[in-house]
Amino acid sequence: MAEETFVPRPSPLLGLTEPLRAAADLASLLPGSLWLRGAARGDGHRVLVVPGFTASDRSTVVLREFLRRQGFDARGWELGRNLGSPELRDALDHLLSRTLDETGAPISLVGWSLGGVFARNLARRRPEGVRNLVTLGSPISGSPTRTRAWQLYRQLQGEQDGNGSRRFARGPRRDPPQGVPSSAIWSRSDGIVPWQIAREQPGPERENLEVLASHLGLGVHAAVLYAVADRLSQPAGQWRAFDPPWWLRPLLRPER
């Protein structure tokens, strides 16, 4: 494998201002409520939303409630806080199997930050059970050691130089899932995850959407909600690249 290009961590200023900027992203729901009424409608299929590092389903309530209003069967993962433990791999496999038994059809996955890494890895292992994949500010194309959450991750895993952390840092997650349409939503102003490693690799049925948002605000930003609904609304087997309306392009645009 070729040596990885060095990616700097997000600036300390971006990290320190994350809570304030996330509050502004949440506030975007008020002026954005008018055009969110015109967001794409779902067909009722199941959508599993995976929270970010140290977060639980409470962090994805806004996103899930919006998707439900749009006609999707959006659910939380119901696995508590995402502390990145290795056991979550088997738990997610079991959850997907149980969900497929309930629905009888592939589901869509939406993952925020570390949740996007887990969702993407699940789609790689079980592509037959996944209809669409959307990641929000997830370190999917580079080492998570460059994120500002890495040291906390190692501490919570009880490791200083443990093999588990090293495997997670260099793991095979960079290979995109085959046969699963994937959309990566990322921000240059992300104060936690370097934007350079939050983008999907170019390829068929894969795209990158750049949004003006904080990392902590990705799941509550009106433009992100609009884009997620649009991506999930596509009929199975009829994927198309995102083409935002003109009035949304100042906030969110495809990477060409």
**Tokens matching residue 219:** 């799941």
Q: Of 100, 2, 113, 3, whose CA–CA distance to 49 is shortest?
A: 113
Higher pLDDT, 49 or 158: 49
Q: What is the mean pLDDT of the chain?
A: 91
Contact 189, 214 (CB under 8 A): yes
Whether 170 shows a pLDDT value over 60: the answer reads no
Question: How far is residue 139's CA from residue 145's CA, in Å, rounded to a whole number?
Answer: 9
Establish if 175 belongs to a structural domain: yes
Q: For 4-18, 83-97, 159-173, which range has the lowest pLDDT when averaged over its residues?
A: 159-173
Please tell me the predicted confidence (pLDDT) of residue 172.
42
Whether 1 shows a pLDDT value over 60: the answer reads no
Establish if 243 belongs to a structural domain: no
Tens-digit pLDDT profile for residues 195-245: 999 999 888 999 999 999 999 999 999 999 999 999 999 999 899 999 999
- Does an H or E element contain 210, and which? strand 206-211
What's the rounded mean pLDDT across residues 53-77? 97
Establish if 241 belongs to a structural domain: no
Work out the pLDDT band at 161, boundaries 50, 70, 90.
very low
**Within 13 Å and on the Cβ side, how many CA atoms surround 161?**
0
Rg (CA), the chain: 17
Establish if 114 belongs to a structural domain: yes
Q: Of 67, 41, 91, whose CA–CA distance to 219 is shortest?
A: 67
Establish if 240 belongs to a structural domain: no
Whether 189 shows a pLDDT value over 90: the answer reads yes
Please tell me the predicted confidence (pLDDT) of residue 168.
54
Establish if 250 belongs to a structural domain: no
Whether 184 shows a pLDDT value over 60: the answer reads yes
Beta bridge partners of 130: 107
Contact 217, 206 (CB under 8 A): no
**To the nearest whole percent, how much of the chain has pLDDT over 90?**
78
Establish if 109 belongs to a structural domain: yes
Establish if 68 belongs to a structural domain: yes
Within 8 A by CB and 6+ apart from 192, the residues are: 10, 15, 18, 113, 137, 147, 148, 149, 215, 216
Burial profile 108-142: b = 16 or more Cβ within 10 angstroms, e = fewer: bbbbbbbbbbbbbbbbbebeebbbbbbbbbbbbbb
Which residue type, as a one-letter code, is found at position 46?
Answer: R
Please tell me the predicted confidence (pLDDT) of residue 173.
54
Domain that holds residue 226: 14-235
Q: Which sign does the torsion angle of CA 200, 203, 207, 210 carry?
A: positive
Q: Which sign does the torsion angle of CA 160, 165, 167, 169 carry?
A: negative
Q: Of 53, 118, 42, whose CA–CA distance to 82 is shortest?
A: 53
Question: How far is residue 12's CA from residue 16's CA, in Å, rounded to a whole number?
Answer: 6
Please tell me the predicted confidence (pLDDT) of residue 132.
97
CATH of the domain at 188: 3.40.50.1820
DSSP string of 169-192?
HH-GGGSPPTTS-EEEEE-TT-SS
How many domains does one find in the chain? 1
Tens-digit pLDDT profile for residues 71-96: 999 999 999 999 998 899 999 999 99
Tens-digit pLDDT profile for residues 117-148: 999 999 999 999 999 999 999 999 988 888 98
Contact 47, 75 (CB under 8 A): yes
Question: How far is residue 17's CA from residue 147's CA, in Å, rounded to a whole number?
Answer: 16
Whether 40 shows a pLDDT value over 90: the answer reads yes
Whether 2 shows a pLDDT value over 50: the answer reads no
Please tell me the predicted confidence (pLDDT) of residue 255.
86
**To the nearest whole percent, how much of the chain has pLDDT over 70?**
91
